Homo-oligomer: A and B are copies of this chain.
Amino acid sequence: MKVLKARPITKERYKQLSEDILTLGITPSLTVVLIGEDPAASYYVQNLVKFGLKYGIEVNIAKYDTTITQAELLTLIEELNESKKCHGIMLQKPLPSHIDEDLIVNAISPNKDVDGFHPYNLGNLFMEQSNFVPCTPAAVLEMLEYYEIETSGKHIAIVGRSNIVGKPLANLFLRKNKTGNATVTVCHSRTTNLSEITRQADILVAAIGKANFIDSSMIKKGAVIIDVGINEVTLPDGKKTYVGDVAYDECSELSSAITPVPGGIGSLTTYNLLKNVYVAARLNNA
């Protein structure tokens, strides 16, 4: 059983990114719109700031209270769309319930949409290439490609149908390229015979957001397991830690390869967001 760690990939990719940024001649600049206090969001944003600083990307945080109105937020997005100093805009979820998320995502310029969540960028996932691929699905593809795990003709089951992971990833796996050509099944909360389907999967992607949801009864022997989940859990001693959507110990025994949490998909996601800021800087500076 092979542990699919992000480290060797991020090491070489960040090196390349630093060099590309130097060649670009300007400092790529990301603005993170952060509304309210959410521990998981803060953790992700702190990582972006840390890695941005390290590799030459400016990360600004536009922090607002949850009382911000939809109109105020739209005005802010319009200002960022116009600003020559801002190359990429990231809208940190979750948004307060009084704000229409689709409306705000639609307002972000597709050329600055480093998350890849604007309909124009999502629609490009139907095509063979696109500027901004959502960061977590892109991380999954990079992981499989780096460790030379074939997708063509394989049955891939994705558990979870979010617009952030499950749905874009399904479309990417259907492309006619070296990380595509798979037979893809998307399962979710309404799936009636979940383990019957997951047990058929050559590659299983867990993107549910529930700690240890996938157990060994759901895995085919020799499957590749990609764990997208990052769930905060409290240990018996009261300390907090992060675990994936997959019960690692029991599932890894059956698998031929598995991504760890942390140190797996999450680390590559951060890299992809920063890489997209570089792409945005290049696009908007052309």
What residues make up the interface of A, taking CB atoms closer than 8 Å to B?
Answer: 102, 118-127, 152-153, 155, 161, 163, 166-168, 170-171, 174, 181-188, 190-193, 197
Given the known A-B contacts A121-B123, A123-B123, are A183 and B174 also in contact in the complex, defined by CB atoms under 8 Å? no
In the assembled complex, how far is the CB of residue A104 from the closest CB belonging to chain B, in whole angstroms? 13
CA A229 to CA B78, docked complex, whole Å:
45
Q: Are A190 and B123 in contact (CB under 8 A)?
A: no
Interface contacts beyond A119-B120, A122-B126, A153-B190: sample of 19 additional A-B pairs, CB < 8 Å, sorted by A: A119-B121, A119-B122, A119-B127, A122-B122, A122-B123, A123-B125, A126-B163, A153-B192, A155-B197, A166-B174, A167-B171, A167-B174, A170-B170, A171-B171, A174-B186, A183-B185, A183-B187, A183-B193, A184-B186
Contacts of A171 in B (CB 8 A): 167, 171
Partner of A127, one of B102, B155, B184, B193: B102
Q: Are A183 and B197 in contact (CB under 8 A)?
A: yes
Q: Are A153 and B191 in contact (CB under 8 A)?
A: yes
Contacts of A191 in B (CB 8 A): 153, 183
16 CB-based A-B contacts, threshold 8 Å: A119-B127, A121-B123, A122-B122, A123-B123, A126-B163, A126-B167, A153-B190, A153-B192, A155-B192, A155-B193, A155-B197, A170-B170, A181-B188, A183-B186, A183-B190, A185-B185
In the assembled complex, how far is the CB of residue A44 from the closest CB belonging to chain B, in whole angstroms? 22
Contacts of A193 in B (CB 8 A): 155, 183
Partner of A123, one of B120, B174, B188, B192: B120
CA A204 to CA B268, docked complex, whole Å:
37
Contacts of A188 in B (CB 8 A): 174, 181, 183
CA A221 to CA B181, docked complex, whole Å:
29
Q: Are A186 and B170 in contact (CB under 8 A)?
A: yes
Contacts of A187 in B (CB 8 A): 183
CA A168 to CA B126, docked complex, whole Å:
8
CA A197 to CA B190, docked complex, whole Å:
19
Contacts of A181 in B (CB 8 A): 188, 190
Contacts of A102 in B (CB 8 A): 127
In the assembled complex, how far is the CB of residue A207 from the closest CB belonging to chain B, in whole angstroms? 13
CA A6 to CA B88, docked complex, whole Å:
48
Partner of A185, one of B120, B125, B163, B184: B184
Contacts of A174 in B (CB 8 A): 161, 166-167, 170, 186, 188
CA A119 to CA B118, docked complex, whole Å:
10
CA A127 to CA B184, docked complex, whole Å:
20
CA A123 to CA B126, docked complex, whole Å:
9
Closest to A154 in B: B192
Closest to A163 in B: B126
Contacts of A190 in B (CB 8 A): 152-153, 181-183
